[in-house]
C-alpha cells in the first residue's frame, strides 16, 4: 500500500440515461445508492491510506465535498460506533478499533477452501493437468486441494503434508515472496536434501532461481522433486498483500515440451491472480506482479 493519500472520486448526482423520448431516468445502480453510506465508506477508505498523523476536519470536508458541519456529524457518528478514532491535539481522525472486529469476522467467514477448490478445478480444466493448491506454512507448502487431470496418470500427492520448499514449484513460488534472510531461515530449518538428480541443493543457486521466479511471476520444478515429473506454480495473496500460498500444475516431463512451460506459467499465474483478487488482495497491475493500491 502506498503511503501517499490517493484522490477519491467526488459524489456526483445519480447518473441518468436517455430513454429515447427525452426522458431521463436514474440507472439501477445509482437509484439504490445511499449517499450518506457512500460518503462514510469513502471516508474510511481515505483514513486507511492517510498519513500516520491522521486527518483533520477540513481535509475530510474537502474530500467529501460537504460543509464542515456535515463532515463533523459524520465523523462523530463513526467515532461513537468505534469505526473512527479521535486523537488530540487537533482533533485528528484515524481508523477505529471496531474495524478490527469486522476484519476478523470477515476472515473467519472467508471460504478459502471453496475459492481454492474452484481455482484448481478451473486450472485443471484449462491445462489438462493435475492442479493443486497449497497454503504457506512457515515458508513451506501444505497442499489442501487437488484435482487430478484426465487420463490414467495419477501422482501420489497426499494433502495436508508439508513438501520441501526448495525442490517444489509451489515451495519456490512461496519462497520467492520472502526476503533473502527469510529464505535462509526457512532452508536452515528444512535443509536442502536432494530429491532427484536435478534438485537444487546449493543456497546461492536457489536464491538465483528465486530471482528468476520473481521476474517471470511463476516457479518451475523441472524434475527437481521427482525424476520425470515437472511442475509450474504461482503465488497468490490475501487482503494484506501477503503470500497466502500457491497454485500449481503437475505433469510428466515426456508430455510437456520445454516450450510449453512458459505457456503453463502464464496460465497458472493468471489463475493465481484471479484467486488473489477474490481474496481481496491489493490491486494487481498489468504485469501481474506489482501489488500496490493506486488511484
pLDDT digits (tens, 9 = 90+) for 87-128: 998 899 999 999 988 877 876 676 787 888 899 999 999 999
When pLDDT is averaged across residues 195-213 and rounded to a whole number, the result is 96
Distance separating alpha carbons of residues 64 and 257, to the nearest angstrom: 56
d(CA 71, CA 266): 47
Question: What CA–CA distances, in Å, run from 153 to 133, 252, 279?
Answer: 19, 9, 32
Mean pLDDT of 269-288: 79
Torsion of CA 208, 213, 219, 220, to 10 degrees: -50
Q: How far, in Å, CA of 237 to CA of 275, rounded?
A: 8
Q: Outline which parts of the chain fall under CATH 1.10.10.10.
A: 16-102
What is the structure's pLDDT at 153? Answer: 58
Closest CA to 2 of 62, 43, 50, 45: 50
Fold of 16-102: Arc Repressor Mutant, subunit A (1.10.10)
Which residues of the chain does CATH 3.30.450.40 include?
110-278
Backbone angles phi and psi of 272, in degrees to 5: -65, -40
Contacts of 116 (CB under 8 A, 6+ apart): 133, 144, 145, 245, 247, 275
Question: Would you put residue 65 in left (φ > 0), alpha (ψ -120 to 50) or beta?
Answer: left
The three three-digit cell numbers of residue 216, written as one number: 517471470
Q: In whole angstroms, what is the distance from residue 239 CA to residue 14 CA?
A: 31
Mean pLDDT across the chain = 84
**Would you state the pLDDT for residue 90?**
86
Q: Pairing between strand 92-95 and 84-87?
A: antiparallel
pTM here is 0.65
Q: Is the pLDDT of residue 12 over 80?
A: no
CATH 3.40.50.2020 fits 110-278, yes or no: no
Q: What is the pLDDT of residue 103?
A: 78
Section 245-253 average pLDDT: 94
Most confident segment among 14-18, 30-34, 151-155, 208-212: 208-212
Is the pLDDT assigned to residue 22 strictly greater than 70? no
Calpha distance 135→72 (Å, rounded): 44
Amino acid at each position: 500500500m502506498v503511503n501517499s493519500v490517493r484522490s477519491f472520486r467526488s459524489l456526483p448526482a445519480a447518473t441518468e440515461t436517455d430513454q429515447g423520448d427525452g426522458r431521463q431516468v436514474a440507472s439501477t445502480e445509482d437509484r439504490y445508492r445511499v449517499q450518506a453510506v457512500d460518503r462514510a465508506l469513502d471516508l474510511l477508505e481515505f483514513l486507511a491510506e492517510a498519513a500516520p498523523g491522521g486527518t483533520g476536519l477540513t481535509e475530510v470536508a474537502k474530500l467529501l465535498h460537504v460543509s464542515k458541519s456535515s463532515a463533523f456529524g459524520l465523523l462523530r457518528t463513526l467515532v461513537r460506533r468505534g469505526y473512527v478514532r479521535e486523537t488530540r491535539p487537533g482533533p485528528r481522525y484515524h481508523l477505529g478499533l471496531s474495524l478490527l472486529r469486522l476484519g476478523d469476522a470477515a476472515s473467519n467467514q472467508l471460504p478459502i477452501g471453496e475459492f481454492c477448490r474452484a481455482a484448481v478445478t478451473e486450472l485443471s480444466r484449462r491445462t489438462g493437468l493435475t492442479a493443486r493448491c497449497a497454503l504457506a506454512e512457515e515458508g513451506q507448502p501444505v497442499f489442501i486441494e487437488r484435482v487430478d487431470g484426465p487420463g490414467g496418470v495419477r501422482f501420489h500427492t497426499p494433502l495436508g503434508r508439508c513438501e520441501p520448499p526448495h525442490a517444489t514449484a509451489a515451495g519456490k513460488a512461496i519462497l520467492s515472496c520472502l526476503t533473502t534472510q527469510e529464505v535462509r531461515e526457512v532452508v536452515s530449518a528444512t535443509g536442502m536434501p536432494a530429491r532427484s538428480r536435478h534438485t537444487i541443493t546449493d543456497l546461492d543457486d536457489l536464491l538465483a532461481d528465486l530471482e528468476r521466479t520473481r521476474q517471470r511471476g511463476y516457479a518451475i520444478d523441472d524434475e527437481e522433486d521427482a525424476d520425470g515429473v515437472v511442475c509450474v506454480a504461482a503465488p497468490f495473496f490475501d487482503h494484506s498483500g501477503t503470500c497466502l500460498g500457491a497454485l500449481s500444475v503437475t505433469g510428466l516431463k515426456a508430455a510437456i515440451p520445454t516450450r510449453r512451460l512458459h505457456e503453463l506459467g502464464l496460465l497458472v499465474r493468471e489463475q493465481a491472480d484471479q484467486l488473489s483478487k477474490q481474496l481481496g488482495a491489493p490491486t494487481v497491475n498489468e504485469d501481474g506482479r506489482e501489488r500496490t493500491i493506486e488511484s
